[in-house]
Amino acid sequence: MSATCDLHAIPPGAFSRRDVLKAGAAGAGLVLTIGLAGCQKPGRARGERKLITANAWLRIGTDDSITFLCDRSEMGQGVYTALPTLLAEELGVDPRRIAIEFAPVGDAYKNGAIGAQVTGGSTSVRDAWTKLRTAGAQAREMLLAAAAKEWDTTAGTCRVENGEIVSPYGKRLSFGAVAEAAAALPVPKEVALKAPKDFQWIGKPLNRFDTPAKVDGSAIYGIDVKLPGMLYAALAQPPMLGGKAKSVDDAAAKGMPGVRHVVHTSSGVAVVADSWWQAREARDALKIEWDGNGTAGLNDGAILRGLMQASRNAGLVARKEGDAEAALKAAARVVRAEYQLPLLAHATLEPQVCTADLRADACDLYIPTQSQAAAQAAAAAAAGLEAKQVNVHTTFLGGGFGRRLEVDVIAAAVEASKATGKPVKLLWTREDDTTHDAYRPPAFDTATAGFDREGKLIAWRLHLTGPSITARVFPGAVPTGSVDPFCVEAAANYPYDVPNVLVDWVPHEVGLNVGYWRSVSHALNCFVAESFMDELAISAGADPAAFRRALLAKQPRYLEVLDVALRRAGYDTPAEGRFRGVAVMEGYGTYMAQVAEISLVGGKVKVWKIVCAIDCGQTVNPGIVTAQVESAIVFGLSAALWGEINVQGGRVQQTNFHDYRVVRLTDMPVIETLHVESDNPPGGVGEPATALVAPAVCNAIYAATKRRLRSLPIARHQLA
């Protein structure tokens, strides 16, 4: 948060030259802003450090400091390390020398894979792969040209070496020494990028840059923001989703120690005090009569009945090959099954939090967000300002998982700052967070398949029903009558060699806000598709892995990860009392197979090991890929074993970690991650591994018990 460059101190017109162009070769809509960003405060003596803005991501100081503006949020997935590595590789500097700040809102920082400044969809490296290397290479070429000019030679005879330019005669100039001259040069339109064999940093083991600050308590998360004069707020939100306060008796609360204000906000009643604990204590002393706003009839049974009813309708077609309906009618044998999935909470360990500092003509927002521009817009709307008057300062995120794509914490913080005239940090309790999430959507799906007389699988039909997240979060993005692509992941890309395939989806809203949850619909649909593939194998009297292998003959990347995982797991030789289950999937451009090994003791499932083979194309940081695979598996395992949000009378029933159970160290299986070498473009790694866990574990449970689990969580089923 400590900016080396005080942006407010830049006088208008300090950007003496502004050169904006589209990078030709990159093709990713790269916009470079080049100029002399005089960052020194007016009146500062000459000779002091100057910061030169080389491009949107890179500042070089005349003192040889190099700063990377990280335009993706660091929520544990490693962008704070991987992204500067990409730029440094081409710039020609040890990435560990680079200081990192989080970028403000800006057009240059839009995620090309999404079209907005968003960290999500396992896109960060995929979007940055060419973009940031190109930006690094362009800056390098300009620094080379500036140094060559100084030496009266040609750039082609010079080279870069860890932050310096070296002349053909061995003379050296640091980046800082020539940065100012370099910034005045034209940005090269075409730059050559290194061949992978020449990579010095990309694909090599490199420790994370955020680790030191995360082992001594110094990393600043949203909850840690402190501003001069700041007050603290706790928020009473309607216990019924979508409810409103009818009447508020705040007399007792106002009399409590430290309480300064009680503010009626658009999302509940905020108590603002000198400390958060005082605010929270006083919040609990508010006497509020709530109006359920018509959501009192919302409950699990009604949600499921609604989904089942909607499932009778024809769906919107996401994938069609051949004629699955006709093939099913003609089939010698048909297998059909129904699957259902519950609502889930994200449960980021850092609850939702936002600090707003609203003044007459500007607002500073300090927030752990995955969506900077949306946060800016939400604050502007609440403040009555224009978006450009809101400065968004992104902190480290205490978990993201899709939860922080939501901007629901912002308005109340801004409104509290407005009412008090002070900076206000609004923090939700764990209970607030669990009961006011944007939940992973529930689903009710039917799967049907047909075999011919020779036992060949000739038809696959997946009929999905559930709500669209995208339609709510990005209004207009899912036109009526069109398929939401984020509802048919791991379904529309059905990989098996079957001549007649039909995948369709019935949109059905369930009466509460649903949100993006790590791996989004992959986790729903992979459970259905890969469980049902297991059912088909069993019904055909085949081994589930062999059954899949035979149908993946034309899919070399699927086949390879499956074979690697099977070999490593010793699939054919399980130990006594241990059982294996398999799942495969492609998601985010990454191919993956998992083999889960379980046993059952007294009806309780013990997951001993999960082997995961991954082909995610070229990698930037192999250690982070492994960490993300493990992380995603643990996240998926919590959901598979216990994850379930129940709603009764419009109220979410779970509140904290005692009734929303998550994996702890004692529950951990051994996770083995196997990288399959690949020179394909990078795939996403933050999410896909989450989706395979439930089907792999449930398929292992079938192997152990001959019981097919067609709903989650596993804990809901009596297995004894």
DSSP per position, 457-523 = EEEEEEEEEE--SHHHHSTTSS-TTS--GGGSTTTTT--S--SEEEEEEEE---SS-B---TTTHHH
Residue 622, both tokens: 């192999």
Least CB distance to another protein at residue 163 (A): 24
| 152 token code pair | 């009266």
Q: Could you tell me if 695 and 530 are in contact, meaning their C-beta atoms sit under 8 angstroms apart? A: yes
Q: In terms of CB distance, is 21 or 223 closer to another protein?
A: 223
Instruction: Report if residue 635 touches another protein, rule: CB under 8 A.
Output: yes
366 binds another protein (CB under 8 A): no
Nearer to another protein by Cβ, of 399 and 581: the residue is: 399
Q: Which stretch binds another protein (CB under 8 A): 11-19, 49-57, 58-66, 425-433?
A: 425-433
Among 64, 599, 630, 705, binds another protein (CB under 8 A): 630
Question: How many C-beta atoms surround the C-beta of residue 204 within 10 A?
Answer: 14
Bridge partners, residue 159, by sequence: 166
Contacts of 469 (CB under 8 A, 6+ apart): 438, 441, 484, 486, 487, 514, 515, 516, 520
**How far is it, in rounded angstroms, from Cα 270 to Cα 74?**
29
The correct pick among 89, 127, 164, 224 for binding another protein (CB under 8 A) is 224
Tokens of 221: 């998360």
17-76 positions binding another protein, by CB under 8 A: 74-76
Task: Give yes or no for residue 285 binding another protein (CB under 8 A).
Answer: no
Q: Compute how many other C-beta atoms are within 10 angstroms of the C-beta atom of residue 716.
A: 11
Told to check if 218 binds another protein by CB under 8 A, we report yes
- Do the beta carbons of residue 594 and residue 611 sit within 8 Å? yes
249 bridge partner residues:
287
Counting contacts by CB under 8 A, is residue 454 touching another protein?
no
Task: For the CB of residue 597, give the shortest distance to another protein in the complex, in Å.
Answer: 15
Q: CB count, 10 Å around CB of 21? A: 14
Q: Of these, 4, 211, 266, 680, which contacts another protein (CB under 8 A)?
A: 211
Tell me which of 78, 95, 268, 511 binds another protein, using CB under 8 A.
Answer: 78
d(CA 83, CA 433): 30
CA gap 690, 515 in Å, rounded = 16
Place of tokens 């940081």: 621
CB of 387 to another protein, least distance (A): 28
Taking CB under 8 A as the binding criterion, the range among 477-485, 574-582, 612-620, 630-638 that sits at the site for another protein is 630-638
114 binds another protein (CB under 8 A): no
Stretch that binds another protein, among 30-38, 211-219, 591-599, 642-650 (CB under 8 A): 211-219
Residue 223 touching another protein (CB under 8 A): yes
Sort residue 602 into left (φ over 0), alpha (ψ -120 to 50) or beta: left
Examine residue 221 and tell whether it contacts another protein (CB under 8 A).
yes
Crossing angle for the helix pair 79-91 and 124-151, nearest 10 degrees?
30
Stretch binding another protein (CB under 8 A), from 171-179, 305-313, 373-381, 627-635? 627-635
Which residue from 515, 473, 432 is spatially nearest to 238, judged by alpha carbons? Answer: 432
CB 78, min distance to another protein, A: 8
Print the binding letters for residues 640-679 with another protein: x by CB under 8 A, - otherwise: ----------------xxx---xxxxx-x-xx--------
The HSE-up count of residue 386 (CA atoms within 13 Å, CB side) is: 3
3-state helix, strand, coil in the chain (%, to 5): 30, 25, 40
Task: Kindly state whether residue 217 participates in binding another protein, applying the rule CB under 8 A.
Answer: yes
Within 251-270, which residues bind another protein (CB under 8 A)?
257
Closest distance to another protein from the beta carbon of 124 (Å) = 14
In what side-by-side order are the strands of the sheet with 172-174?
A: 159-161, 164-166, 172-174
> What's the angle, vertex CA 554, arms to CA 550 and CA 560, rounded to 5?
75
**Cβ 429 vs Cβ 280: under 8 Å:** yes
Q: Which of these, 467, 475, 473, lies nearest to 512 by C-alpha position?
A: 467
- Is residue 214 a contact residue for another protein (CB under 8 A)? yes
User: How crowded is residue 575: how many other Cβ atoms within 10 Å of its Cβ?
Assistant: 10
Among 163, 292, 398, 683, contact with another protein (rule: CB under 8 A): 398
Q: Are 650 and 242 in contact (CB under 8 A)?
A: yes
Question: 56: which DSSP letter?
Answer: T
Nearest approach, Cβ of residue 169 and another protein (Å) = 41
Q: Applying CB under 8 A, which of residues 399, 450, 507, 688 lies at the interface with another protein?
A: 399
Least Cα distance to 334 among 496, 460, 446, 444 occurs for: 460
Query: Considering the rule CB under 8 A, would residue 232 count as an interface residue with another protein?
Result: yes
Residue 430 interacts with another protein (CB under 8 A)? yes
Of 67, 123, 311, 429, which lies in the binding site for another protein, with binding defined by CB under 8 A?
429
Question: Whole-number minimum distance, CB 665 to another protein, in Å?
Answer: 5
Looking at the DSSP bridge assignments, the partners of residue 392 are: 365
Binding of another protein by 313 (CB under 8 A): no
Tokens of 368: 């752990």
Closer to another protein by Cβ: residue 328 or 613 = 613
- Closest contact distance (angstroms) between CB of 429 and another protein is 6
Instruction: Please list every residue from 475 through 514 that binds another protein, using CB under 8 A.
Output: none
Q: Does 517 bind another protein (CB under 8 A)?
A: no
Binding test (CB under 8 A) with another protein, winner from 390, 491, 634, 691: 634
For the CB of residue 642, give the shortest distance to another protein in the complex, in Å. 13
Considering only residues 53, 77, 355, 699, which one is a binding residue for another protein as defined by CB under 8 A? Answer: 77
Q: Give the residue with the Cβ less far from another protein, 227 or 387.
A: 227
Question: What is the contact mask toward another protein in residues 323 to 352, using x (rule: CB under 8 A)?
Answer: ------------------------xxxxx-
Interaction residues for another protein, span 136-175 (CB under 8 A): none
Residue bearing tokens 């995120």: 397
Nearest alpha carbon to residue 694 among 713, 672, 674, 671: 713
| Binding-site ranges for another protein (CB under 8 A) | 74-78, 207-208, 210-221, 223-224, 226, 232, 257, 275-277, 347-351, 396-401, 427, 429-431, 623, 627-628, 630-635, 656-658, 662-666, 668, 670-671
